[in-house]
């Protein structure tokens, strides 16, 4: 009986925002973080020959792939095509690893330099992790489509970030979470600095792991121990307990977390107090009726 071929695609989203705390304190830490991520990628490729890796970088200005299959070594190198030809083996290292390393370094340099030249003014904005995730989803969708019949592709996402917040991209995040849930893609988050409520929700929805690492020095160990194992194997490991996710809603008017609120029946916006006009869809509401209407009062049939 033919054994089912399972491949695993890991898409890593790396936050390269310059405002991350560890980068502000010591910019050279970036090398450490990138090295750890590349090691993780190589380890993943090493587990099975068919495994695949893609890396997406993002900052406040844009997000883009820094390693994907068009950067990968072509099976038969075409002459004259620079960058993609097989490098000669050095130090006995597997060529693919060395190649990944050079490509990631090269593209990271390109990515950061490009950002500085084009978008100088808005560097304090939020990191566009959601954009990187949507790119990753499109990429996964294609790899899934192009896979040979009979093969099974398990995809997962890993975010490595030291940024906080993400409220402004709420919609995009949610769209990614639900798409991932539908397609059985696991979302893992490795936070370097903050407890991220929104990404925690995403991990919980897709069945992934959220981990805020206590110290940056040990990043590689955390990556290898917690995020390298495939989701089915994780059940057998002793991993950090799942985060307690707060699913309360934030109202659209004050961004407060609320227990009981009002929801617009047209656009489902959430408000903490009754307001006569919905600020999202401009619907005019009827005044609230009491739960036990008085019998004598005529129902108001005027324009609502």
Partner 1 sequence: MADEDEGNEYRWETGYEKTWEAIKEDDDGLLEASVAEIIQRAKRKRQAERKPNTRLGMMRHLYIILDCSDAMSDQDLKPTRQLCTAKLLEGFIEEYFDQNPISQMGIIVTRNKRAELVCELAGNVRKHVDIVKQIAQGPCSGEPSLQNSLELALSSLRLLPGHASREVLIIMGSLTTCDPHDINVTIQKLKAEGVRCSVIGLAAEVRVCRQLSKETGGLYSIILDDCHFRDLLLQQVEPPPAARTQDCSLVRMGFPHHSKIGNDPADASGAPNNNAMSFCMCHLDVEGKMDASKLGVAGHLCPQCGSKYCELPVECRACGLTLVSAPHLARSYHHLFPVDNFLEMDAKENMKHNCFGCRRKFVEIDKHVYKCGACSHIFCLDCDIFVHDTLHSCPGCTSSCKNVK
Site for partner 1 in 175-194 (CB under 8 A): 175-179, 182-183
- Does the footprint of partner 1 cover residue 167 (CB under 8 A)? no
Assess contact for 104 and 112: CB atoms under 8 A.
Answer: no
Q: Comparing C-alpha atoms, which of 130, 239, 144 is closest to residue 184?
A: 144
CA pair distance 14, 157, nearest whole angstrom: 11
Q: Measured from the CB atom, is 47 or 267 closer to partner 1?
A: 267
| Identified binder of partner 1 from the candidate list 232, 241, 288, 293, rule CB under 8 A | 288
| Site residues (CB under 8 A) for partner 1, limited to 105-164 | 119, 122, 125-126, 128, 130-132, 134-135, 137-139, 141-142, 145
Where does residue 264 fall: left (phi above 0), alpha (psi -120 to 50 degrees), or beta otherwise?
Answer: beta
| Site residues (CB under 8 A) for partner 1, limited to 55-84 | 58, 60-65, 68-70
| Identified binder of partner 1 from the candidate list 31, 46, 113, 281, rule CB under 8 A | 281
Return all residues near 107 (Cβ < 8 A) that are at least 6 apart: 57, 65, 66, 67, 71
Assess contact for 23 and 34: CB atoms under 8 A.
Answer: no
- Does the footprint of partner 1 cover residue 248 (CB under 8 A)? yes
Q: Give me the least distance between CB of 220 and partner 1, in Å please.
A: 27
Q: Give me the least distance between CB of 152 and partner 1, in Å please.
A: 20
| Residues found in the chain | 304
Q: Measured from the CB atom, is 217 or 256 closer to partner 1?
A: 256
Is residue 98 within a helix (H) or strand (E), and if so which, with residue range?
Answer: helix 95-118
| Identified binder of partner 1 from the candidate list 73, 224, 245, 253, rule CB under 8 A | 245
| Site residues (CB under 8 A) for partner 1, limited to 198-217 | 201, 205
- Does the footprint of partner 1 cover residue 170 (CB under 8 A)? yes
Assess contact for 280 and 264: CB atoms under 8 A.
Answer: yes
Contact code string over 26-45 relative to partner 1, x by CB under 8 A: --------------------
Where does residue 105 fall: left (phi above 0), alpha (psi -120 to 50 degrees), or beta otherwise?
Answer: alpha
């Amino acid at each position: 009986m033919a054994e089912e071929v399972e491949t695993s695609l890991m898409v890593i989203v790396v936050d390269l925002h310059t405002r991350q705390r560890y980068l502000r304190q010591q910019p050279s830490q970036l090398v450490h973080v990138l090295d750890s991520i590349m090691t993780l990628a190589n380890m993943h490729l090493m587990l099975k020959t068919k495994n695949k890796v893609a890396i997406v970088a993002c900052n406040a200005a844009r997000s883009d792939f820094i390693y994907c299959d068009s950067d990968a070594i072509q099976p038969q190198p075409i002459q004259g095509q620079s960058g993609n030809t097989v490098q000669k083996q050095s130090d006995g290292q597997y060529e693919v690893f060395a190649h990944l390393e050079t490509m990631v370094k090269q593209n990271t340099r390109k990515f950061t330099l490009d950002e500085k030249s084009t978008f100088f003014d808005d560097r304090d904005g939020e990191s566009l992790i959601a954009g990187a995730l949507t790119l990753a989803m499109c990429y996964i969708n294609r790899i899934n489509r192009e896979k040979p019949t009979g093969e099974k592709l398990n995809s997962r996402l890993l975010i490595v970030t030291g940024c906080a917040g993400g409220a402004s991209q709420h919609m995009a995040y949610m769209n990614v979470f639900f798409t991932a849930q539908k397609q059985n893609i696991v979302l893992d988050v490795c936070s370097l600095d903050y407890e991220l409520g929104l990404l925690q929700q995403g991990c919980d929805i897709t069945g992934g792991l959220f981990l805020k690492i206590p110290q940056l020095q040990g990043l590689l160990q955390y990556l290898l121990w917690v995020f390298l194992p495939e989701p089915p194997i994780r059940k057998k490991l002793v991993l950090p307990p799942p985060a307690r996710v707060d699913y309360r809603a934030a109202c659209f008017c004050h961004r407060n977390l609320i227990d009981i609120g009002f929801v617009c029946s047209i656009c489902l916006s959430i408000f903490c107090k009754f307001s006569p006009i919905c600020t999202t869809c401009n619907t005019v509401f009827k005044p609230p009726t009491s739960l036990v209407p008085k019998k004598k009062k005529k129902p108001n049939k005027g324009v609502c």
